[in-house]
A and B are shown apart, each in its own frame.
Chain A
């Protein structure tokens, strides 16, 4: 069964600190892995997309890694800001029709 699991479920950090979110998946066939940021009351917004051959991708203070052998990905946030407070969703794309399999997300709260 295709599944995407994220940890932790929720996380609280202080402004300026770094954090790392985890994503494990069992999806076949694998096409690519995406990280989305979803602010409260808004739709998800794409942060990074990585294919099988990529093992790291950065977008500003966000850096995603992918280990296709162990089927794990992480999202590292550097020097967190209050605006980083959101849910971060890991999504794995399977097959040729762009079928997205969503994780439940990690809810991040950045406190001053």
Chain B
């Protein structure tokens, strides 16, 4: 079974530039998550999709971050414009069910973003 795919793996940009990350979840998984993980910290949920609808985006900085999940499958996360404090690893995860219980999240390898 293929895992969660993310690209690119690494990205270096200057502040005020724009950047986009792509995620392809495990086939058939209804729920998709984007996390931000700053060095030395645990992941922080940015946005959670259930199929192509947003379940939770309470911690997404909506003035600069946006995300969409096309046709309930792939997803893109965009930052425009980037700030120095956005330097982090952006993790995508997916799960089979629609929340609750002991549903396991499967994580992708992440995209390491460096903002100079």
A interface, CB within 8 angstroms of B = 4, 31-32, 41-46, 49, 51, 89, 91, 95-100, 102-105
Whether B42 contacts A43 by the Cβ 8 Å rule is: no
B interface, CB within 8 angstroms of A = 4, 31, 40-45, 48, 55-56, 91, 93, 95, 97, 99-105, 107-110, 112
Whether B104 contacts A46 by the Cβ 8 Å rule is: yes
Which residues does chain A contribute within 8 Å of B110, judged by CB atoms?
Answer: 41-43
Whether B102 contacts A45 by the Cβ 8 Å rule is: no
A100 and B40 CA atoms in complex are apart in Å by: 18
Could you say which of B42, B91, B97 contacts A105, with CB atoms under 8 Å apart?
A: B42
30 contacts between A and B (CB under 8 A): A31-B101, A32-B101, A32-B102, A41-B110, A42-B109, A42-B110, A43-B91, A43-B93, A43-B108, A44-B43, A44-B91, A45-B107, A49-B104, A89-B42, A91-B42, A96-B99, A97-B56, A97-B99, A97-B100, A98-B31, A98-B95, A98-B100, A98-B101, A98-B103, A98-B105, A99-B56, A100-B45, A102-B42, A103-B42, A105-B42
